[in-house]
Structure 1
Amino acid sequence: MDQQAGREHLGNGWRQGSGHVRCGTIRRPGGIVRLGKGNLGSDRGNTGGLGLSLEGPLVLRIGLDDTDHPLSGCTTSAFDELITHLLERIPDAEVNERTLVRLWPFAERRTRGNGALSAQITIDGSQIGEFRQSCQEWFDRMLAEVSEHPPSKVPAAPVLVVSEGPVPEEWYWETVSGHVDLEPRLKQVRADGCWLLAGERLWGAVGASAAIAWSPNSSSTWELIAWREPGMIGLPRQVTSDSVRLMERRNPMTFVNRDPTADRGLIAPRTPCPVLYGIRGRTSESVVKAHRWMQVRTDVERSTRWAVHRTNQLSDDHLGTVSYGTVINHPEETKGAHSNVAVVSNGNRISLVAFSEGGPVNRLLRRLQVGDRVAWLGLIAPDGAFHLERLSLRDPTPRVAGRPQCCGKSMRSGGAGQQLRCRECGSKAVREWVSTDADVSDIEAVANWSEPTPSNRRHLSRPLELGLPGT
C-alpha cells in the first residue's frame, strides 16, 4: 500500500528486512541490463539457484531517472506509474516513502527540473522474484514509449536502480554538487551489489543512484505532485493565480508556490508534460490539505492522481559555504544585462556573475565599487566563476561625491602639495574628497542579503525567508 498517494492516511514507518541477496549481471533481448553480484531468477520466489529461502520483510530502495523529453513525459509521472504497477502485482507491498531529489544544476544532460525519483518499498523476501519481474515488465513498456520520443540533442537514457540495503551517501553529495562521470559511478553501483534496468544508454544511473543515496533530515521539505488526465496533456492548464494566492493564505505551512513580485503562481509547469501542479510545504500534511482545497475550486483543473514526495528542494545542498572577498574592479555589464565583477578572496582572484534574471542580486552587483567587502553564495560554474544566488554588501567603501563646495562651485587644486582653493572668495580647504555612505536601500534585501525573485530561483536554493546563509 502506498501511504502517500491519493489516500487519507500518511506515513507508516519503515521495517528493516533480512535475508538480502544481491542480484547479478544478466543480459536479455531488448537491451535490458542488470548489474550486481549473485543471481536472482525471474520466477516468483526463485533465488537464482543459490538454494536460499528468502523470508521475512525486505526493504528495497528503488531509484529512477532520465525518462523524459523536453517536449513530453515526466520522470515523476513515470515513477508513479511504476509504483502503481508494483502495488497491483504485489498488493501487500508497502511504499514507506517517496523522494524527489534535485541534482547539480550544471549537469550536461540535465532535464527540465533535473530531478530523480526514489522510494523505499517493503515486501516479503519470498516476493523478490515477483518484484523483479514486475519491474522488468514495466521497464520494457517504458522503453517502448521512450523509443517514440521525437529526436533530441539529449535523448532520454532511463535507468532503474534497485538496492537491497543502504548505499553510500557520497553518491548523492557528489551528484548534487558537481559533475559525475558515468563509468566510475557504474563501477560503484556494481561494487555495492545494486541491480539496474537500462536500455542502450546508461546515463540515468547517475541520477537514480544519487536518489536512493539521499538521506532526508529534519529540514527536508515536501512536494505534492498532481498529474493531469491523459486527454488534457498539451492543453492549457487551469490553475489560476488567485487560487494559488488564496491557497498559501489558507495553508501557511506551504511556501514558494507563488511569486508575489510578479503576482503569479509557480506551481504549474509551462511545458506540455503530465504534471498539473506541484505544491511545496514544510510538512506532508500541509501539502495534502492544500491540494484537497485546490481540487474543490471551480477555477482549478481536476487531477486524476497525486503523490507526496520528500525533497531536497530549498536545501542549498548544491552550494558550499558563504564566501567573502574584496571588490577589485568596476562591475562590467555584458550582453543581455548580465553583470560580473572581480573580487579577491584568500589571495585568489574570483569572478562573480549575476544574470539579469537575478533581479536584486544583479542590481546590487552593478552598484559595487572597488574596495567593497562582500559576502556571497553561488554555484561554481565549469569556468570557475561563481554564479550568484545570494549577495550581501558587508563593508562598503565611501562613495565619492566630489570636491568640497564653496560659493556654489567645487573648490580647485592650488597646485602640487597645496590646499584646495575657492576661485570666488579665495577660501582654502584641506585636499580631500567629499564622500557619502553607500545607499542600497532601494534594492530588496533580508538582513542585508539579496536574492533573485521566486520565479528565478533554482529548485535547490533556500529562500531567505527560511534562513539566512550560514545559519
Structure 2
Amino acid sequence: MMLHIGLDDTDSPEGGCTTYVAAVLVEHLIGIGVEFIGYPTLLRLNPNTPWKTRGNASVCLRLKIDDSKYPEVREFVKGLVEKYGEFTCDNTNPGVVFLKGEVPDDVKQYSDTVVKSLVEKKLAVDLIEKHNLDFLEYKNGRGLIGALAAIGGTLEGDFTYELLAYRIPENWGTPRKIDLDSITKMDEALSGYTYNNVDEKGKPLILPRGPDPVLYGVRGETPEDVYRAMDLIESLSPLSGG
C-alpha cells in the first residue's frame, strides 16, 4: 500500500529537529525494505505563526509497504517521537499523521491554507476524522496541523532541494566544527546552482546557531547540485551516519 507519514513539532529553540527524526526513520525503513516514493518533503509553514517551535517546517515521508508492516512502522514512529521530542518546551506539541492511499484534494487545499495563513487545530482534526486517518498527538497535539499539511504539500509547483548533514549525538550542543573556507569555495564553485550559502560579507549562512543535530544545510536546484556541495564542504567532525 501507499503510505504517507507526516511529522511536526518535535523540536524547540533548545534542541531537537523534526528532520532528524525523519532521517532516523528513513534509516529504519530502508532496513525493513520499504520502497520510497521520491525524496522526503519539507514544507515551510507560515513563518508568522506565534506558536512555532523553531524553523516552522514539517516533514512527510511517502512510501510503499506491505500492509502487514504498518503496525511495526507506526510503533517505531511513536518510539522516535517519544525519544527525540522536546517535551519540556511549552510550544513543543508533537503530531504525526498516517495517510494510506492517494492524498485527497481537500488535504492538498488545506496544506496551501496552512502555508499562507494561521489555522486552528480543529481544521486538521476535522479532515483527519473525515478521512478516518490514523494519528499520534502529544500534549495539546498542535503538531497535527503541520503534520497533515506536510502530507498535503505534494510540491506540484516550484520547489528546491535541501541536503542536511547531521552531527553525531555526542556533538549536539557544542560549537560546530567545519572548514569555513570550504564553504566559501563551494559557494563560488556552485554559484547559480545552490543558494544562500554566505552573506554579502562572506559569513556562512548554512550553519544553524542552535544546539540541534544539524551541522549544515545546503539548498539547490537538483539533488546532484546539493550532493556536489557536500563533496566540497569539509567537516572537521564526524557526521551522523557517515
Q: Do they fold alike, i.e. is TM over 0.5?
A: yes
Cα distance, 1:72–1:93 mapped onto 2, change above 3 Å: same
Amino acid at match of 1:210: A
Look up the match of 2:46: 104
| Shift in Å, 1:265 | 0.6
1:123-272 aligned within 5 A:
123=65, 127-146=66-85, 149=86, 151-154=88-91, 156-164=92-100, 165-167=102-104, 168-217=107-156, 219-252=158-191, 253-260=193-200, 262-272=201-211
Of the candidates 2, 8, 15, which is equivalent to residue 72 of structure 1? 15
Residue 278 of structure 1 aligns to a residue whose secondary structure is strand
Cα distance, 1:137–1:283 mapped onto 2, change above 3 Å: closer
Amino acid at match of 2:195: F
1:243–1:300 CA contact under 8 A, matched in 2: no
CA distance in 2, matches of 1:230, 1:192: 38
Cα distance, 1:193–1:203 mapped onto 2, change above 3 Å: same
Cα distance, 1:98–1:283 mapped onto 2, change above 3 Å: same
CA distance in 2, matches of 1:228, 1:189: 35
CA distance in 1, matches of 2:36, 2:88: 38
Look up the match of 1:115: 57
| Shift in Å, 1:234 | 1.2
Cα distance, 1:131–1:207 mapped onto 2, change above 3 Å: same
Look up the match of 1:434: none
1:60–1:163 CA contact under 8 A, matched in 2: yes
CA distance in 1, matches of 2:83, 2:73: 16
Cα distance, 1:274–1:257 mapped onto 2, change above 3 Å: same
CA distance in 1, matches of 2:167, 2:140: 29
1:93–1:121 CA contact under 8 A, matched in 2: yes
CA distance in 2, matches of 1:188, 1:217: 21
| Shift in Å, 1:304 | 2.4
Residue 83 of structure 1 aligns to a residue whose secondary structure is helix
Residue 120 of structure 1 aligns to a residue whose secondary structure is strand
CA distance in 2, matches of 1:273, 1:161: 24
| Shift in Å, 1:144 | 4.5
Amino acid at match of 2:163: L
Residue 235 of structure 1 aligns to a residue whose secondary structure is coil
Residue 151 of structure 2 aligns to a residue whose secondary structure is helix
Q: Does 1:81 align with 2:17?
A: no
CA distance in 2, matches of 1:283, 1:183: 37
For residues 188-210 of structure 1, give each alpha carbon's deviation from its aligned partner in whole angstroms, at most 9, with x where no partner exists: 12112321122343111100111
For residues 196-253 of structure 1, give each alpha carbon's deviation from its aligned partner in whole angstroms, at most 9, with x where no partner exists: 1223431111001111111324531110001001111111102343221110111231
Number of residues of Structure 1 aligned to a counterpart in Structure 2:
238
Amino acid at match of 2:128: V
Amino acid at match of 1:234: G
2:87–2:93 CA contact under 8 A, matched in 1: no
CA distance in 2, matches of 1:141, 1:276: 20
For residues 51-84 of structure 1, give each alpha carbon's deviation from its aligned partner in whole angstroms, at most 9, with x where no partner exists: xxxxxxx221111000112211110101111222
Amino acid at match of 1:255: Y
Q: CA RMSD in A?
A: 2.0
1:239–1:301 CA contact under 8 A, matched in 2: yes
| Shift in Å, 1:85 | 2.0
1:96–1:122 CA contact under 8 A, matched in 2: no
CA distance in 2, matches of 1:282, 1:178: 27
Cα distance, 1:218–1:302 mapped onto 2, change above 3 Å: farther
Look up the match of 2:226: 287
Amino acid at match of 1:136: E
CA distance in 2, matches of 1:63, 1:84: 16
Q: Which consecutive residues of structure 1, in runs of 5 or more, have no partner in the other structure? A: 1-57, 307-471
Cα distance, 1:188–1:234 mapped onto 2, change above 3 Å: same
Residue 164 of structure 2 aligns to a residue whose secondary structure is strand
Q: Which consecutive residues of structure 2, in runs of 5 or more, have no partner in the other structure? A: none
1:393-404 aligned within 5 A:
none
1:396-415 aligned within 5 A:
none
- Higher RCO (C-alpha 8 Å, min separation 6): 2
Give the helix-richer structure, 1 or 2.
2
TM-score by length of 1: 0.48
